[in-house]
């Protein structure tokens, strides 16, 4: 294995090899779907900018002006990366979860929100919590079924504003959803659609105009940038008509005393309306830097390399007795993939599996302790989906780390730019040894 501190240049993207575990083996981080390592170019950009940062939109001084330019340039970079339309806006948030909660807070009165029960909780929960009515759609077992289910639900819905929320790629199965077809179906029935691109955006181009979605949400920490910043990009009308997500400085254009001794306020339009307080310039800049690095490396090349590693992973796992890889689509599909390569093509590099008779928590613990491999186990903040995949009932325990022997959880292995082939090989070897 390479020395623990060696960088791993892949397609010109330099992902720092994470720290050694302290033992013989350098650590193999195979949990990109949770958070990806930060690109070296992002660290370097941030380090070069750090001595110059000041408060955005607040001052006439050089540092403040410079930071304002950095912040607004980052917004423009993200808009370009996502292929935003001229009327779209890019709001910097804290994360995908924050972006979807922001949109939930901006829904017109009486909006019905259509979501598949297979969604990550970040896409599933904000709507009802914000007072909208959530219409839960059954887990589809093929891409075509997803479109049909959505169409039927929209056709049966009463008049009124409607929003569809779908994932671009599942954080559990890695499967890529038929976003363009779902967007067309939504628009045919007068609904709008928001794409949860948390898992898709690090692996495939996400172009708002081409997909014809109304909004896109994603997080920096899955896109090779640090934690703490995310994006909501898309149509301005609902956002500009809504109460600010956060009330405070920057979101207000004019504040005065009203005739009754209360406060009269005029809010900003545009991203500033929902970005009150001192914004996270470093976070925004990091996201923009990662967007540029990924564009420079090229998505076709990245996807091809990740596809090869994913094929290797799936082929390795499929040889092992008792190992079941979890898939939602393909079950009712005549065109179900026939081999590991075809299977890999319909996903990003995220694979979850169970081993018959084993607790997934133990498998994950053994991979970490004995092989220096970091994966995730649990229900991945997608309880209804994991239940559907494992054929569990809703009364079965829902918490990650179910009691021994009652393994209502799975192991998830996920890769990305910078994953060395050796990590995938070590992983497959380790699971083979454990099964044996
Ligand atoms: N959606 C999906 C599909 C995800 O995988 C995640 C993160 N696991 C989220 C939303 C939430 O992202 P964050 O925790 O950064 O808000």
pLDDT in the model for residue 26:
74
Ligand 1 centroid distance, CA of 309 (Å): 23
What's the pTM? 0.92
Distance CA 291, CA 296 (A): 9
User: pLDDT tens digits for the chain (436 residues)?
Assistant: 444 444 455 666 776 544 444 445 578 889 999 999 889 899 899 999 999 888 898 788 999 999 999 999 999 999 999 999 999 999 999 999 999 999 999 999 999 999 999 999 999 999 999 999 999 999 999 999 999 999 999 999 999 999 999 999 999 999 999 999 999 999 999 999 999 999 999 999 999 999 999 999 999 999 999 999 999 999 999 999 999 999 999 999 999 999 999 999 999 999 999 999 999 999 999 999 999 999 999 999 999 999 999 999 999 999 999 999 999 897 656 566 678 888 878 999 999 999 988 889 999 999 999 998 999 998 888 888 888 888 765 555 544 444 444 557 899 999 999 888 999 999 999 999 999 9
Distance CA 168, CA 78 (A): 18
pLDDT in the model for residue 341:
81
- Our answer to whether residue 381 is catalytic in this structure is yes
Ligand 1 centroid distance, CA of 243 (Å): 25
Q: Verify whether ligand 1 is closer than 6 Å to residue 414 (CB atom).
A: no
Distance CA 142, CA 148 (A): 10
pLDDT in the model for residue 385:
86
The conformation of residue 264, written as its DSSP 8-state character, comes to E
pLDDT in the model for residue 31:
94
Q: Verify whether ligand 1 is closer than 6 Å to residue 122 (CB atom).
A: yes
Which one of 84, 165, 291, 381 is the catalytic residue?
A: 381
Q: Give the position, in ligand 1's atom list, of the atom nearest the Cα of 381.
A: 8
Distance CA 166, CA 168 (A): 7
Q: Verify whether ligand 1 is closer than 6 Å to residue 97 (CB atom).
A: yes
Ligand 1 centroid distance, CA of 199 (Å): 7
Name which residue sits closest to atom 12 of ligand 1, judged by CA. Answer: 96
Architecture of the domain delimited by 7-30+298-435: Alpha-Beta Complex (3.90)
Under a CB-based contact definition with an 8 Å cutoff, are residues 69 and 281 in contact? no
The conformation of residue 257, written as its DSSP 8-state character, comes to E
pLDDT in the model for residue 20:
41
Under a CB-based contact definition with an 8 Å cutoff, are residues 348 and 174 in contact? yes
The conformation of residue 301, written as its DSSP 8-state character, comes to H
Ligand 1 centroid distance, CA of 172 (Å): 11
- Which phi and psi (to 5°) does residue 352 adopt? -110, 145
Ligand 1 binding pocket mutation candidate from 96, 200, 380 (most atoms within 8 A of CB): 96
Q: Verify whether ligand 1 is closer than 6 Å to residue 352 (CB atom).
A: no
C-alpha separations of 84 from 91, 269, 387 in Å:
12, 18, 36
Q: Verify whether ligand 1 is closer than 6 Å to residue 376 (CB atom).
A: no
Name which residue sits closest to atom 2 of ligand 1, judged by CA. Answer: 198
| CB count in 10 Å sphere of residue 162 | 22
Q: Verify whether ligand 1 is closer than 6 Å to residue 118 (CB atom).
A: no
Q: Give the position, in ligand 1's atom list, of the atom nearest the Cα of 171.
A: 5
Ligand 1 centroid distance, CA of 268 (Å): 29
Architecture of the domain delimited by 46-295: 3-Layer(aba) Sandwich (3.40)
Q: Verify whether ligand 1 is closer than 6 Å to residue 99 (CB atom).
A: no
pLDDT in the model for residue 407:
54
Q: List for the chain the helix, strand, coil content (%; round to 5).
A: 40, 20, 40
The conformation of residue 132, written as its DSSP 8-state character, comes to P
Q: Verify whether ligand 1 is closer than 6 Å to residue 119 (CB atom).
A: no
Q: Verify whether ligand 1 is closer than 6 Å to residue 175 (CB atom).
A: no
pLDDT in the model for residue 6:
46
Distance CA 278, CA 57 (A): 9
Q: Give the position, in ligand 1's atom list, of the atom nearest the Cα of 169.
A: 3
Ligand 1 centroid distance, CA of 198 (Å): 6
pLDDT in the model for residue 345:
82
Q: Is 103 helix (H, G, I), strand (E, B) or coil?
A: helix
Provide long-range contacts, Cβ within 8 A and 24+ apart, for 44-52. 45/285, 45/286, 45/289, 46/226, 46/282, 46/285, 46/286, 46/289, 49/282, 49/285, 50/282
Q: Verify whether ligand 1 is closer than 6 Å to residue 67 (CB atom).
A: no
Q: Give the position, in ligand 1's atom list, of the atom nearest the Cα of 94.
A: 16
Q: Verify whether ligand 1 is closer than 6 Å to residue 199 (CB atom).
A: yes
Distance CA 301, CA 170 (A): 21
Ligand 1 centroid distance, CA of 231 (Å): 12
Distance CA 430, CA 64 (A): 52
Residues 6+ apart with CB under 8 A from 68: 56, 57
DSSP per position, 174-236: -BBP-HHHHHHHHHHTT-EEEEE-TTTTTTS---HHHHT-SEEEEEGGGTTS-SS-EEEEE-S
Ligand 1 centroid distance, CA of 365 (Å): 23
> CA angle, corner 303, sides to 225 and 36, nearest 5?
25
pLDDT in the model for residue 405:
43
DSSP per position, 331-393: TT-TT---SHHHHHHTB-SEEEEEETTS-HHHHHHHHHHHH-EE-EEE-TT-HHHHHHHHT--
pLDDT in the model for residue 289:
96
Cα-to-chain-centroid distance, residue 360 = 23
Distance CA 416, CA 32 (A): 6
Locate CATH 3.90.1150.10 in the chain.
7-30+298-435
Locate CATH 3.40.640.10 in the chain.
46-295
């Amino acid at each position: 294995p390479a020395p623990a501190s060696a960088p791993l240049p892949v397609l010109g993207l330099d992902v720092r090899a994470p720290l050694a575990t302290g033992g013989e083996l350098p650590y193999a981080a195979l949990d990109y779907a949770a958070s990806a390592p930060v690109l070296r170019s992002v660290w370097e950009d941030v380090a070069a900018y750090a001595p110059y940062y000041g408060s955005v939109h607040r001052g006439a001084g050089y540092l403040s002006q410079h930071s304002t330019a950095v912040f607004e340039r980052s917004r423009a970079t993200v808009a370009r990366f996502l292929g935003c339309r001229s009327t779209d806006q890019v709001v910097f948030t804290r994360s995908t979860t924050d972006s979807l909660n922001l949109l939930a807070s901006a829904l017109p009165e009486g909006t019905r929100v259509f979501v598949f029960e297979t969604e990550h909780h970040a896409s599933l929960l904000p709507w009802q919590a914000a007072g909208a009515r959530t219409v839960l759609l059954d887990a589809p077992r093929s891409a075509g079924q997803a479109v049909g289910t959505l169409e039927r639900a929209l056709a049966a819905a009463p008049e009124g504003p409607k929003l569809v929320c779908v994932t671009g790629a599942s954080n559990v199965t890695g499967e890529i959803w038929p976003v363009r077809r779902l967007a067309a179906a939504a628009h045919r029935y007068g609904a709008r659609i928001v794409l949860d691109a948390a898992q898709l955006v690090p692996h495939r181009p996400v172009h708002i105009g081409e997909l014809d979605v109304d909004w896109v949400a994603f997080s920096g920490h899955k896109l090779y940038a640090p934690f703490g910043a995310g994006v909501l990009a898309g149509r301005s009308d609902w956002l500009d008509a809504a109460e600010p997500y956060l009330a405070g400085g920057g979101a207000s254009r004019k504040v005065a005393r009203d005739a009754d001794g209360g406060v009269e306020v005029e809010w900003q339009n545009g991203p500033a309306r929902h970005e009150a307080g001192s914004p996270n310039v470093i976070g925004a800049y990091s996201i923009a830097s990662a967007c540029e690095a990924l564009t420079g490396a090229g998505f076709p090349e990245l996807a091809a390399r990740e596809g090869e590693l994913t094929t290797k992973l799936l082929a390795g796992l499929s040889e092992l007795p008792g190992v079941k890889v979890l898939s939602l689509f393909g079950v009712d599909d005549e065109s179900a993939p026939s081999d590991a390569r075809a299977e890999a093509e319909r996903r990003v590099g995220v694979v979850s599996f169970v081993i018959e008779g084993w607790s997934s928590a133990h498998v994950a613990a053994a991979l970490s302790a004995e092989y220096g491999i970091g994966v995730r186990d649990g229900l991945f903040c997608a309880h209804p989906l994991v239940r559907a995949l494992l054929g569990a009932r809703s009364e079965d325990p829902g918490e990650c780390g179910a009691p021994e022997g009652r393994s209502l959880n799975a192991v998830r292995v996920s890769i990305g730019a910078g994953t060395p082939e050796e990590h995938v090989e070590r992983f497959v070897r380790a699971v083979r040894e454990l099964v044996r």
